[in-house]
Amino acid sequence: MRHLGIHIVLYKPEIPANTGNIARTCAANKAILHLIHPLGFSIGERAVKRAGLDYWSSVTIIEHESIEAFFESEAGGVFYFIEDYGDNKYSDGDFSHLDKDYYFIFGRETSGIPLELIMDRKNQCLAIPMASNVRSLNLSNAVAIVVYEVLRQQEFYQLN
């Protein structure tokens, strides 16, 4: 089942604190969070309560057993891979259309998105520019950068 709007997709996330921070960003911006299994942690009610994620119930979370299951269930969306593969920056995309589902796929904290998923989709890859002395940004920071660029282009329509 598709939901119009901004979709954040975490491919096999490993660090619970990152996912918690991303969930908070999604709650604050009405974005939908997709989690691709396997996860590196539990999101059961007890674990969520222990982590103090009192806003968890305010987030629309959709779990997918695999990346293939995700693509099958969300067919028809516009997909972007946030990765340093390709020539496009996150701010190069046109996300202004309110009648589309935009899916932003973020890779694992330790290994990113597998090359076999993106090698034929170079034009769908968006990078966040940064100095060469840093390997990557924190995943939750990267998500916030992308979400706010989409919201800016949509004149923050989703927050009204």
Q: pLDDT tens digits for the chain (160 residues)? A: 445 699 999 999 998 888 888 999 999 999 999 999 999 888 876 665 555 467 778 899 999 999 999 999 999 999 999 998 878 999 999 999 989 999 999 999 999 999 999 999 999 999 999 998 988 899 999 999 999 999 999 999 878 7
Query: Over pLDDT 70: what percentage of the chain?
Result: 92
Query: Over pLDDT 90: what percentage of the chain?
Result: 70
Residue with tokens 């329509």: 157
Q: Provide the pLDDT for residue 34.
A: 97
CB under 8 Å, gap of 24 or more: what pairs does 29-32 form? 29/147, 29/148, 29/151, 29/158, 29/159, 30/5, 30/6, 30/158, 30/159, 31/5, 31/6, 31/7, 31/147, 31/158, 32/3, 32/5, 32/6, 32/7, 32/8, 32/60, 32/61, 32/62
pTM of the model: 0.93
Q: What CATH number labels 5-159?
A: 3.40.1280.10
User: What are the residue boundaries of the structural domains of the chain, listed by start?
Assistant: 5-159
